[in-house]
Amino acid sequence: MNIREAAEQWEEEYLSPYASFSNQTKGRDRKEALCDIRPEYQRDRDRILHSKAFRRLKHKTQVFLAPEGDHYRTRLTHTLEVSQIARTIARALRLNESLTEAIALGHDLGHTPFGHTGEKILNEICEDGFAHYRQSVRVVEILEKEGRGLNLTWEVRDGILNHRTSGSPSTLEGGVVRLSDKIAYINHDIDDAIRGRIFREGDLPSCYTDVLGHSVRERLNTMIHDIIENSLNRNEIAMSTGMEEAMQGLRTWMFDNVYRSSAAKAEDGKAQQLIVALYQYYMVHIDQLPEEYHYLMDELGEKKTRVVCDYIAGMSDSYAIDTFEELFVPKAWKV
């Protein structure tokens, strides 16, 4: 028995009967030889972690565009926080931690520069629309490895696609990530907003904080415990009714007071104009796209509009700004 087989046997002996077992995966689009060390979901986790799209997350906006200060979240730190919350819950429920982590690490790979602002404008200008959760799947299926994709298992791709609020993951591990994403961004965005002096902790509605807690730490602890208590030894991932209502209420309050606030959205118009300008430029100058994007069009038959959208969506905030300046901002004359 090799190391992978021993790990798979441990899963069968220890994990919950409702967990996703590595040796029962629906598999990959392209069949591969099994690893002698790592079960399938662990391989997927490693592939995501080593991908270019994952590394770019460190320079992509979470909420605040180009914040001044080292302690504001980026899309990468958000992803790591989601992963940690999800792993804590999965371990307590005896679910497959590797599958949970793979979904968590990959759930936002398709995010655009400038966060949901970039996503919104690309959805408007791309003829086939744009949504980050679909783009995340496109990244791992096609765009990584110069058009070959990461060839991940079906369960990981399903979890990535269905991490959104209206999603319905097919595995409990996907359900854990779906709720962990909400828990993470609500609480950590509160932390960033307080740091940015948009509001104070005491300004949060007491009808929600009396249920959830009166600090980021307390709210995280309360919600994580609630999910574990309401999901243990059950074939579903759930929160208690009162806890879920308070979480959704606080989420709505955050949309009204942070995500759509003048402070957080002050530069949105400029960011959207920048993305529109880049999109229009590359639609005309398609020859200036990197070679891998020509492969998508020439060999895989992808539409030009889709490929230009892919290229811009993959940019980090700083790279998008630098590219815009290179293309459209006059340079000082030097002798």
Model pLDDT, residue 69: 54
Distance of CA 331 to the CA centre of its chain: 36
Phi, psi of 204 (to 5 degrees): -65, 140
**Residues 197-206: b if buried by 16+ CB within 10 A, e if exposed:** ebbeeeebee
Model pLDDT, residue 245: 97
Model pLDDT, residue 173: 98
Q: Residue holding tokens 């957080």?
A: 264
Model pLDDT, residue 256: 87
DSSP one-letter string for 183-242: HHHHHHHHHHHHHTTS--GGGS-HHHHHHH-SSHHHHHHHHHHHHHHHHTTSSS----HH
Residue 257 class from Cβ within 10 Å (0-12 exposed, 13-18 middle, 19+ buried)?
Answer: middle
CATH architecture of 3-16+26-113+133-259: Orthogonal Bundle (1.10)
Residue 9 vs residues 139, 171, 178, 217: alpha-carbon distances, Å: 32, 20, 28, 37
Model pLDDT, residue 260: 72
Q: Do the beta carbons of residue 242 and residue 211 sit within 8 Å?
A: yes
What ranges do the domains of the chain cover? 3-16+26-113+133-259
Strand-pair partners of 61 = 74
Model pLDDT, residue 335: 59
The structure's pTM equals 0.94
Q: Rounded to whole angstroms, how far apart are CA atoms 1 and 157? A: 29
Q: What residues contact 158, with CB distance under 8 A and at least 6 apart?
A: 169, 170, 171, 174
Q: Rounded to whole angstroms, how far apart are CA atoms 16 and 38? A: 20
Q: What is the mean pLDDT of each run of 10 residues along the chain (335 residues)?
A: 95 98 97 97 98 93 60 84 97 98 97 91 95 97 95 98 94 98 92 86 95 95 98 97 96 85 70 96 97 94 96 94 94 66
